[in-house]
Amino acid sequence: MPMTTTMPESLQRDVTLQQLIDNDNSNNDGTNNVNKGLRQQLLAIIQESLNPTIVANLPFQQLRLDSRHVTTKDVFVLLKSQSQNCQKSRDYLYQAAQQAAFILSEIDPVALLSTANTPPHVNLQIEDNHQLLARQQLATLACPVIYVPHIRDFLGDFAQACLQYQQPITLPTVVAVTGTNGKTTISQLVAQLAQLAGMSSAVMGTAGNGKLGALIQASHTTGDALAVQQFLYKIGTEKADLLALEASSHGLDQQRLQGMPVTIAIYTNLSRDHLDYHADMAEYVAAKAKLFDKAHFPTLTHAIINSDDEYAQVMLDTAQASGLIVWTYSLNASSTATFIAADIMPSLQGVEILLCSDFSDKKPDKVNIISPLLGRFNVANLLAAIAAAVALGISLERITGLMPQLQGAVGRMQRVPSNDGCFIVDYAHTPDALSQVLASLKTHCKGQLWAVFGCGGDRDTGKRPLMAQAGLSGADQVILTADNPRTEDPNAILKDMQVGMSAEQYQRAHIEPARQKAIEYAVSHASVDDIVVIAGKGHETYQEINSVRHDFDDSVVLQQALQQAGRV
């Protein structure tokens, strides 16, 4: 379910743009009022309107991005979309205009009403008579419409200022994690360490949103700009001291996190993903790097970066140019990183790590850490979380003592109990993530390593054969099956995955489109010394088929299969 963007009725009261502009910014209690930059943007909105005095003093309560939810006390914000045409944007505009106090449009409203079925981001030369008719149409609408082409640059600040005007509160410290893999685990580990050290903590991301122990499933890793501000404010009212969030490339590119008071930014790694959205890897990298730029997040103090990743230098350059305290982490014992796993001793019960750290003027520390998390890649996740905890002011000695109490994120290297064999559910849904999971488990495996996985429909098709090859390279036996086929035929997805497979690889592969049958096949054929990984969906409790989400939880289906096979 999406994050709520509705202010509780008990807190709702009218505000005007002029009142927000005049709102004093001299508080010393940690609350956020209107900053200078936002004040200038609000003044510009007033000046751009046809009737500045009227617009400045129009009362409203909330900002809305969905025209269906607009009421008479709302400001509707019309944003561009790469997927919609002008007709849909006009429909949203007309629908909202019937109720809204006023409308702020990222799309030029004159151009919008002068063109038909053209993507809003396309620049067209509009004839004078069309412009005149469009202006006449705008004048007949029931509320003012103001063109604000750069509204994403301050939308988050605007939303938070409205909330703070209703009831000023102290917002939590924010730690943000970006990268292809590891975001969920690291954000949850940071929140756990902070909470165990006495800070009330919350998380926002793929596995859910809320205070630890009370997460609500989210529809997106990073919600829209209004939703994340509402959530930040909500957990602030619940006295959360810390928010650890996942910063997706979509969210960063679309400025959904604008206005989030991020203090500590973490970079994990980057591999092929989301190329159905980003034009190429360079664009994907640039989106991630925004998290380390004080021009986007002026509250930043620390950058924590995985120096083992090939794209780390881009993040380092951005962070250093912003004047941040930069700490790095590495699994390479000969690295010069700030936090190094100098020795790693894994087992199916967890891992023992010799941690070397050099983050202060004091003599470098060497401590032994015992972690209950499985997998070599989880050592990297743990180093990032430890660095963030240190940046939050928690001593390394205390962190070391808290290690045994840590729990992995649901669906991340999650071991499902069995009398024999080893059965694991993991979210790995990219070639790199799957390779890392299999490489981590291979060292523990006395028998054969099995991998059950597929690829999502309506997504990057070029990833499909790479995913299959990652599984075949790392596992002894592979079962290719459906993931979330969405609107595609699962057999067509599986056909794409098989491109380039050799005769030898086909001998080690079993093709089963039905995911439940694929899991049951693995359970019935794996021996007592084998390890089976069910990959790709992890924490998800559904399977999306033809735009319908059906109940499907890999860990539950696996438990049932183990029971039926008499292995629990």
Q: 56 near 69, Cβ under 8 Å?
A: no
221 annotated as a binding-site residue? yes
376 annotated as a binding-site residue? no
The token pair at 38 is 């936002």
182 annotated as a binding-site residue? yes
Q: Which ranges constitute the DSSP H helices of 59-150?
A: 86-97, 109-112, 128-140
CA 34-38-42 angle, to 5 degrees, is: 105
DSSP state of 404: G
Tell me the C-alpha distance between 320 and 330, whole Å. Answer: 18
179 annotated as a binding-site residue? yes
Tell me the C-alpha distance between 82 and 120, whole Å. Answer: 8
The distance of Cα 436 from the centroid of its chain, to the nearest Å, equals 20
185 annotated as a binding-site residue? yes
Reported residue count of the chain is 568
378 annotated as a binding-site residue? no
363 annotated as a binding-site residue? no
DSSP 332-370: -TT---SEEEEEEEEETTEEEEEEEE--SSSPPEEEEEE
Tell me the C-alpha distance between 216 and 512, whole Å. Answer: 32
Residues 6+ apart with CB under 8 A from 451: 434, 438, 471, 474, 475, 477, 478, 479, 533, 535
The distance of Cα 347 from the centroid of its chain, to the nearest Å, equals 30
* Integer CA distances (angstroms), 78 to 65, 195, 329, in order: 6, 39, 42
Beta bridge partners of 302: 264, 325
67 annotated as a binding-site residue? yes
Q: How many CB atoms lie within 10 A of CB 405?
A: 11
Q: 348 near 422, Cβ under 8 Å?
A: yes
**C-alpha dihedral sign at 416, 421, 426, 429:** negative
28 annotated as a binding-site residue? no
Residue 312's nearest CA partner among 179, 420, 222, 405 is 179
536 annotated as a binding-site residue? yes
408 annotated as a binding-site residue? no
485 annotated as a binding-site residue? yes
180 annotated as a binding-site residue? yes
Is residue 461 helix, strand or coil? coil
Beta bridge partners of 175: 244, 264
The token pair at 221 is 């890793």
Residue 189's nearest CA partner among 448, 328, 392 is 392
Backbone phi and psi for residue 368, each to the nearest 5 degrees, phi listed first = -90, 130
540 annotated as a binding-site residue? yes
**Amino acid at the residue 421:** G
Tell me the C-alpha distance between 261 and 15, whole Å. Answer: 23
31 annotated as a binding-site residue? no
464 annotated as a binding-site residue? no
Is residue 280 helix, strand or coil? coil
306 annotated as a binding-site residue? no
398 annotated as a binding-site residue? no
Beta bridge partners of 426: 535
256 annotated as a binding-site residue? yes
CA 57-58-62 angle, to 5 degrees, is: 125
Beta bridge partners of 152: none
Binding residue numbers: 65, 67, 179-185, 221-222, 248, 254, 256, 459, 483-486, 536, 540
Binding residue numbers for ATP: 179-185
Binding residue numbers for meso-2,6-diaminopimelate: 459, 483-486, 536, 540
